[in-house]
């Protein structure tokens, strides 16, 4: 087994891979509040899941505008459910301490609680907004895998979600992990602080991302009934989580049972049974079974959404055209005013010149008159 010396608090090493990092849990400080990488990565996972989900809603026959409220409610329900699930399983640590119960910046979110909360709250809002639940569950499943695959790296930045000692290629350790083992591991746990441990967060991230790729392909080519992708998600994630949870040292427990292993096992069994029942039902129905995206109801709702969107675009175009016309008229008015001012200025400049010309002509006339008068006087004098 690889032996490690004492590591710095924020130092993370993968000895077999020759990798070493210094990872602080705090990403940055905003207005005096520390924002952790855990929160940043969880948020990133949610955003990418939402972007993917909205990009594919039409393929599932769902109007994105109607579904928006359900998605937002699902995100809120997911965060609340994940925290309540975690706190409930560790009530001895959090009981009565509301400040710590509400503090999620340092971790403490349980994925199964998040899934349950998202389904309950999001499902109720979808019902109120008249959005079909089964197609939304299929989209949500794909989104869950994206969010979980990325969000698990928040555990990496928190130096948590690790497993037993291992000498495998991916074995890792950190200063914080060593401190946790020294302070929390019991004598019979078998954990040794100066040896690498399983990076369970990494295993689960890979499992979720691989599941996303697989179910994404299935959803495009082999989706036979609404709800199929969600049931496959339950089975896929349950298999991986049951195995990975068995490696972890920081599991949530109820008595002598690991909570997540119990939930995972139940999920796998229920999911497989429901998949068999639904595949058998669809086979019996034959051509009579229609995916929601191909129903008259779905196509009508999407057509109404398209008409609403087109009306909105035309309204915006009309406003833009009116605004352009106003600007054009104002510009024309300004140009005309400028031309009038130029003409007035030209007239003003020409008046003195005209007056001066008239003055010269008058002077010339007077001079000619005087000259003529003098000539007449001279002639008169000569005659005399």
Task: State residue 275's pLDDT score.
Answer: 97
Mind listing the pLDDT tens digit for each residue in 261-293? 999 999 999 999 999 999 999 999 988 899 999
Is residue 118 classed as helix, strand or coil in its secondary structure? helix
Over range 232-257, report the average pLDDT.
90
Of the listed ranges 160-174, 192-206, 360-374, the least confidently predicted one is: 360-374
Over range 151-175, report the average pLDDT.
93
Indicate if the pLDDT at residue 53 is higher than 60.
yes
Question: Pick the residue with more confidence: 235 or 376?
Answer: 235
Q: Any idea where the domains of the chain sit in the sequence?
A: 11-62+132-292, 295-384
Task: State residue 257's pLDDT score.
Answer: 84
Q: Name the percent of the chain lying above pLDDT 70.
A: 83
Task: State residue 364's pLDDT score.
Answer: 52
* Residue 184 DSSP code: H
* Residue 295 DSSP code: S
Task: State residue 1's pLDDT score.
Answer: 60
Q: Give buried/exposed letters for 142-168 (b at 16+ CB in 10 A, else e).
A: bbbbbbbbbbbbbbbbbbbbbbbbbee
Give CA separation, 118 vs 103, 196, 209, 246, 302, in Å: 19, 35, 20, 26, 25
Over range 146-167, report the average pLDDT.
93
Indicate if the pLDDT at residue 381 is higher than 50.
no
Indicate if the pLDDT at residue 106 is higher than 50.
yes
Of the listed ranges 239-243, 248-252, 310-314, the least confidently predicted one is: 248-252
- Residue 260 CA neighbour count, 13 Å, CB half: 27
Quote the tokens at residue 253: 């427990």
Task: State residue 249's pLDDT score.
Answer: 85
Question: What's the pLDDT band for 384 if we cut at 50, 70, 90?
Answer: very low
Tell me the C-alpha distance between 83 and 156, whole Å: 19
Of the listed ranges 13-22, 185-194, 352-361, the least confidently predicted one is: 352-361
Over range 55-78, report the average pLDDT.
94
Question: Pick the residue with more confidence: 32 or 142?
Answer: 142
Tell me the C-alpha distance between 77 and 120, whole Å: 7
Task: State residue 365's pLDDT score.
Answer: 56
Element (H, E) at 362: helix 296-383
Is residue 8 classed as helix, strand or coil in its secondary structure? coil
* 234 within 8 A of 270, measured Cβ to Cβ: yes
Q: What is the mean pLDDT of the chain?
A: 86
Indicate if the pLDDT at residue 383 is higher than 70.
no
Question: What's the pLDDT band for 97 if we cut at 50, 70, 90?
Answer: confident
- DSSP code per residue over 44-81: HHHHHHHHHHHHHTGGGT--HHHHHHHHHHHHHHHHHH
Task: State residue 356's pLDDT score.
Answer: 57
* 65 within 8 A of 71, measured Cβ to Cβ: no
* 249 within 8 A of 213, measured Cβ to Cβ: no
């Amino acid at each position: 087994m690889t032996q490690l010396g004492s590591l710095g608090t924020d130092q993370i090493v993968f000895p077999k891979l020759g990798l070493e990092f210094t990872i602080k849990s705090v990403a940055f400080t905003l207005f005096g509040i520390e924002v952790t990488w855990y929160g940043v990565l969880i948020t990133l996972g949610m955003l990418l899941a939402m972007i993917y989900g909205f990009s594919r809603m039409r393929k599932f026959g769902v109007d994105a505008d109607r579904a928006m409220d359900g998605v937002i409610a699902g995100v809120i329900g997911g965060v609340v459910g994940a925290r309540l699930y975690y706190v409930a399983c560790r009530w001895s640590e959090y009981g009565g301490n509301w400040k710590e119960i509400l503090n999620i910046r340092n971790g403490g979110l349980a994925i199964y609680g998040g899934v349950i909360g998202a389904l309950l709250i999001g499902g109720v809002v979808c019902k109120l907004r008249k959005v079909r639940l089964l197609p939304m569950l299929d989209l949500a499943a794909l989104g869950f895998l994206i969010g979980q695959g990325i969000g698990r790296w928040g555990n990496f930045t928190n130096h948590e979600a690790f497993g037993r000692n291992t000498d495998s290629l991916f074995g890792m350790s950190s200063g914080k992990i060593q401190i946790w083992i020294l302070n929390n591991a019991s004598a019979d746990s078998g954990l040794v602080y100066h040896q690498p441990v399983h990076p369970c967060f990494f295993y689960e991230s890979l499992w979720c991302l691989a599941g996303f790729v697989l179910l994404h392909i299935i959803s495009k080519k082999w989706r036979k009934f609404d709800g199929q992708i969600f049931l496959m998600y339950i089975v896929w994630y349950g298999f991986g989580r049951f195995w990975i949870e068995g490696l972890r040292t920081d599991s949530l427990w109820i008595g002598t049972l690991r909570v997540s292993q119990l939930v995972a096992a139940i999920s796998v069994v229920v999911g497989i049974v429901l998949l068999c029942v639904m595949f058998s039902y669809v086979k019996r129905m034959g051509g009579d079974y229609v995916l929601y995206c191909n129903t008259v109801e779905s196509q009508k709702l999407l057509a109404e959404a398209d008409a609403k969107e087109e009306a909105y675009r035309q309204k915006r175009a009309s406003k833009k055209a009116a605004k352009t016309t106003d600007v054009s008229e104002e510009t024309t008015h300004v140009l005309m005013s400028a031309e009038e001012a130029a003409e007035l200025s030209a007239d003003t400049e020409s008046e003195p010149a005209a007056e001066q010309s008239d003055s010269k002509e008058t002077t010339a006339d007077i001079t000619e008159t005087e000259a003529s008068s003098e000539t007449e006087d001279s002639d008169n004098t000569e005659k005399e």
